[in-house]
Structure 1
Amino acid sequence: MNYPKPIYIPQTISTNVSLADICSKGVTENLTSVYSSFQTDGRGQRGNKWESEDGKNLLFSFVVFPKELPAKEHFILLQITALALFDALSEYTDGVRIKWPNDIYWMDKKICGTLIENDLSGMNIERSISGTGVNLNQKVFRSNAPNPVSLSQITGQEYDAETILHKIMEHASCYYRMYENGESESIRRKYFDAIYRKEGFHRYRDENGEFEATIEDIEKDGRFILKDREGNVRKYLFKEVEYII
């Protein structure tokens, strides 16, 4: 095992909070992870809450301590997490994709959401905690989230959260070693190859309204590059554009 044994916490405010607390108490190894059966205040992107029925899903976080990674290059850490999730879940079903920047989709439904929190030292990232909710065995979703799905709903099977976590952490460990070995461009290419709606024209919305475009590229800093029907190239940072699903 190329990572520390995951730490189980039956209930927590959020796994990101629990892991940050562990880190604050002393030296913590790279790729240390915690997981829980229930979060009382699970958080998602844009300030959203993450719905998870008690004991039904995988809720986990892991930490890395990059060496001399400029904050402006933080997107590589997001790619590592997204690819680890993509690889692990693709072992169980076809149709898994990465929806820019870091959601995991099956077809047009969301199976994973990730929130990454970085601590800086000067201009560099000193610590990065990646927290993810994976919908595993939940059958009914009651929140107003528009399109959730669980792995169990897709396949009709039940899954053990710890088993899935170990698969994810194995992949995360491999990608983090690639990053440490200077293979960030290989990670970027693999990420782009796994992108949701990579082929053809699809609908998007930005501050000026709706439009159709195809994905041209995703730059090193995470910038999303689209080309619309008129041939105009549009570049977006996080939260500046959204998919219409």
Structure 2
Amino acid sequence: MVKIKWHRSDSIGSTNSYLRELNGGDPGFDFEVAAADFQTAGRGQQGNKWESQAGKNLLFSILAHPANIKASEQFLISEAIALAVLDSVTQVVEPGLAGDFSVKWPNDIYWKDYKIAGILIENTLQGNLILDSVVGVGLNVNQELFLSDAPNPMSLKNITGQDFDRNCLLEDIVKRFIGYMEMVSDADTASDVDVSSGLGKESVERLYHSRLYRREGWHRFRDAAGCFEARIEGVRTNGLLLLETRSGEQRAYEFKQVQFILPEKE
């Protein structure tokens, strides 16, 4: 049985930083979760600040100890948490809305062209394996008004008009994440969430690819050379995004090397 240690707080600097300071955590637990109603120093990718109204959203991090995941395969953790969040939010909205949720590479969660969740992952390596992984999630749940200059924030309440139980969402996401981690890391623990009929890393990768934002058709992108049109060919095991341009050129990008050009707000 999976053992989870919970750390809950009204306010904290950063849930990721809190778990990192545990120096590997409590050896008596398989996972540790830090959750807060408010973060004074919440972070997104590459130091970006994450806006969240106190007591309205989910702000949490998970400390995991992946079994047998190579450093070169660390993107599997990104796929696992993205799918866990996506599964959870699509289960709580009406079926007619669920199909508009997707994963924007590498691991943002989108509804249509709007961002509802961001993820920050920090790994500690031991040789060529991952020793510890701190997986931070910010999910917009019940906030209605966003004041930052972020281009496209959205919450579940904005989408549905309903309030959601944040604790139920949190516990569901954590259980689903554990299930996906068991699939990709050869863990010998047993979760009580059936996340897929398939088994193993390949199944998780295929599921992730099938739920990518803009996974079909031609779309506009921007790299260091300028704007161009391309379609998504897939994502490599190491996380590189594969694009094919209109001229048939194959391109591979690391995170931040290419941007999706989003529609202008009306």
- The TM tier, using the shorter chain, reads over 0.9
Deviates more, 1:13-22 or 1:26-35: 26-35
Partner residue in 2 for 1:153: 158
CA distance in 2 between counterparts of 1:125 and 1:86 reads: 24
Aligned partner letter, 2:6: P
CA distance in 2 between counterparts of 1:15 and 1:87 reads: 22
Partner residue in 2 for 1:230: 247
Cα distance change of structure 1 residues 19 and 28 upon mapping to structure 2, 3 Å threshold: farther
Given that residues 3 and 170 in structure 1 are in contact (C-alpha distance below 8 angstroms), is that contact kept between their aligned partners in structure 2? no
Given that residues 3 and 169 in structure 1 are in contact (C-alpha distance below 8 angstroms), is that contact kept between their aligned partners in structure 2? no
Q: CA deviation at 1:207?
A: 0.6
Cα distance change of structure 1 residues 25 and 211 upon mapping to structure 2, 3 Å threshold: closer
| Pairing 1:179–2:184 present | yes
CA distance in 2 between counterparts of 1:64 and 1:26 reads: 11
Cα distance change of structure 1 residues 71 and 28 upon mapping to structure 2, 3 Å threshold: farther
CA distance in 2 between counterparts of 1:194 and 1:144 reads: 27
CA distance in 1 between counterparts of 2:231 and 2:223 reads: 14
Q: CA deviation at 1:208?
A: 0.4
1:73-152 alignment runs, 5 A limit = 73-93=73-93, 94=98, 95-152=100-157
CA distance in 1 between counterparts of 2:55 and 2:109 reads: 21
User: SS where residue 4 of structure 2 aligns?
Assistant: coil
CA distance in 2 between counterparts of 1:25 and 1:104 reads: 28
CA distance in 2 between counterparts of 1:49 and 1:122 reads: 31
Deviations 1:46-84 (A, max 9, x none): 221000011110000001112342212110011110000
Q: CA deviation at 1:24?
A: 4.9
Partner residue in 1 for 2:52: 52
State the percentage of identical aligned residues.
42
CA distance in 1 between counterparts of 2:3 and 2:143 reads: 28
Deviations 1:208-230 (A, max 9, x none): 00001111111111111111111
Picking from 214, 217, 224, the partner of 2:234 is 217
The ranges of structure 1 where at least 4 consecutive aligned residues each deviate by more than 6 angstroms after the TM superposition are none
User: SS where residue 182 of structure 2 aligns?
Assistant: helix
Aligned partner letter, 2:254: L
Q: CA deviation at 1:119?
A: 0.9
Stretches of structure 1 lacking an aligned partner (at least 5 in a row): none
Calculate the aligned-residue CA RMSD, in Å. 1.5
CA distance in 2 between counterparts of 1:174 and 1:124 reads: 20
Given that residues 5 and 31 in structure 2 are in contact (C-alpha distance below 8 angstroms), is that contact kept between their aligned partners in structure 1? no
Q: Size of the alignment, in residue pairs?
A: 245
Stretches of structure 2 lacking an aligned partner (at least 5 in a row): 187-198
Q: TM-score, normalised by structure 2?
A: 0.88
User: SS where residue 126 of structure 1 aligns?
Assistant: strand
Deviates more, 1:102-111 or 1:12-21: 12-21
Given that residues 2 and 170 in structure 1 are in contact (C-alpha distance below 8 angstroms), is that contact kept between their aligned partners in structure 2? no
Cα distance change of structure 1 residues 144 and 28 upon mapping to structure 2, 3 Å threshold: farther
CA distance in 2 between counterparts of 1:25 and 1:228 reads: 46
Given that residues 98 and 105 in structure 1 are in contact (C-alpha distance below 8 angstroms), is that contact kept between their aligned partners in structure 2? yes
Partner residue in 1 for 2:256: 239
Cα distance change of structure 1 residues 28 and 199 upon mapping to structure 2, 3 Å threshold: farther
User: SS where residue 129 of structure 1 aligns?
Assistant: strand
